[in-house]
Amino acid sequence: MTQATTNSSVPRAYLSRRYHLSASHRLHTDAFSADQNRAAYGKCNNPHGHGHNYIIEVTLGGPVDPITGMVCDLGALDAFAREHLLDRFDHQNLNTLPEFQSSVSTTENFTREVHRIFTAFPHAQLTGIRIEETSNNSFEYAGPDSNRKAQSL
Amino acid sequence: MVLLTRKAEFSSAHYYWNDAWSAEENQRVFGRCANRNGHGHNYTLEVTVAGEVDPVTGFVVDLKQLKEILEHEVIHVYDHRHLNLEVPEFAERIPTTENIAISIWDRLDGKIPNARLHRVRVYEMPDLFADYYGER
């Protein structure tokens, strides 16, 4: 029977899970005139909005449990993501949600919001959020205190 | 320093099971993965090495040599095998994605000439992967 070893000798790994959600948004700030908004945001300022299939990549780090071989229980992570991410944002207009009443619904701000949400996940430490807005654009955030480049550690 | 990443794929069977637990406890913790008949995945392995660019060849490592090391040390051992039953490190250690990344690190560490192993990433599926940087 394996005896749990001291924490310093337990390997530390990172688990990443990707979630898919579709939402609309419009980039616009009341701090700018209509002309300034068009200049700053271009086609993303279209008053009727537009949408994306977002891919939300959540990375958690921690010691690999010597018994289960896991950083955390994937079922618990999926349940947390269902309740706090997918049920709140999937098939919504981001601009209508409370999170984006005082900040523009850019994917930079969305990434920070999703980071704030997963900081509360109780079973492992969040190390970073990466969101693909399109296959060409992605955004990463590792928290307010981190200078870590999320993909290169 | 430059990072260089080489991909490889392997297809393997596995299951999650802890002999110290009852069948009910295994089912509760590991869910569908506890099916003792096993199930399988197409794994994608990404090995990232770090090193200086050789001023003559312009290489960090010889990619052909790196490919052969991955083939010999990992793919040859894991591909089209049952990880629990046929790969020695998983006789006692559950072949989770995390443990597969750690085991591949241990297999490769110190075997790549002129470069340092930086990261082992294992995709179990496109939406689930584990990273290991050798941290203990």
The DSSP annotation for B77-136 comes to HHTTEEHHHH-GGGTTS---HHHHHHHHHHHHTT-STT-EEEEEEEEEETTEEEEE-S--
pLDDT confidence of residue A1:
32
d(CA B134, CA B118): 8
Residue A3 has pLDDT above 70, yes or no: no
Q: B130 and A17: CB-CB below 8 Å?
A: no
d(CA B33, CA A95): 40
Range B78-112 burial, b when 16+ CB lie within 10 A, else e:
beebebbeebebbeebbbbbbbbbbbbbebbeeeb
Cβ-proximal residues to A79 (8 Å cutoff; 6+ apart), any chain:
none
Q: Does B22 touch chain A (CB under 8 A)?
A: no
**Of A127, A93, A135, A125, nearest in space to A110 by CA:** A93
Mean pLDDT (chain A) is 91
d(CA B23, CA B58): 55
Partners of B30 on chain A (C-beta within 8 Å) are 68
Rounded to whole angstroms, what are the CA distances from B21 to A50, A90, A145? 51, 38, 41
Q: Which residue segments constitute the domains of chain B, with CATH numbers given? A: 2-132 (3.30.479.10)
Binned at pLDDT 50, 70 and 90, residue A151 comes out as very low
pLDDT confidence of residue A145:
79
CA distance A34 to chain B (A): 40
Q: A8 and B96: CB-CB below 8 Å?
A: no
Count Cβ atoms below 10 Å from residue A152 Cβ, excluding itself. Answer: 10
Q: What is the pLDDT of residues B38-83, one digit of tens each?
A: 999 999 999 999 999 999 989 999 999 999 999 999 999 999 999 9
For A11, name the nearest residue in chain B, comparing CA atoms only.
B136
Residue A68 has pLDDT above 90, yes or no: yes
pLDDT confidence of residue A147:
65
Q: B135 and A71: CB-CB below 8 Å?
A: no
> Which of B92, B131, B133 is the best residue to mutate to test the A interface, defined by the most A CB atoms within 10 Å of its own CB?
B131
Q: Let me know: does B45 contact B124? Beta carbons within 8 Å.
A: no
Return the structure tokens found at B45: 């392995």
d(CA B136, CA B132): 10
Binned at pLDDT 50, 70 and 90, residue A149 comes out as low
CA distance A64 to chain B (A): 7
Q: Let me know: does A83 contact A54? Beta carbons within 8 Å.
A: no
Global pTM value: 0.89
- A140's enclosing H/E stretch is strand A138-141
Q: What is the pLDDT of residues B12-45, one digit of tens each?
A: 999 999 999 999 999 999 999 999 999 999 999 9
Considering the domain A10-141 in this protein, what is its CATH number?
3.30.479.10
Q: Does B110 touch chain A (CB under 8 A)?
A: no
- ipTM for the complex shown: 0.88
For A64, name the nearest residue in chain B, comparing CA atoms only.
B98
For B28, name the nearest residue in chain A, comparing CA atoms only.
A75
pLDDT confidence of residue A9:
85
Residue length, chain A? 153
Q: Does B94 touch chain A (CB under 8 A)?
A: yes
**Of A71, A50, A49, nearest in space to A60 by CA:** A71
Burial class (CB in 10 A: 0-12, 13-18, 19+), A31: exposed
CB pairs under 8 A between A and B: 69
d(CA A88, CA B56): 55
Q: Let me know: does A54 contact A133? Beta carbons within 8 Å.
A: yes
Residue A150 has pLDDT above 80, yes or no: no
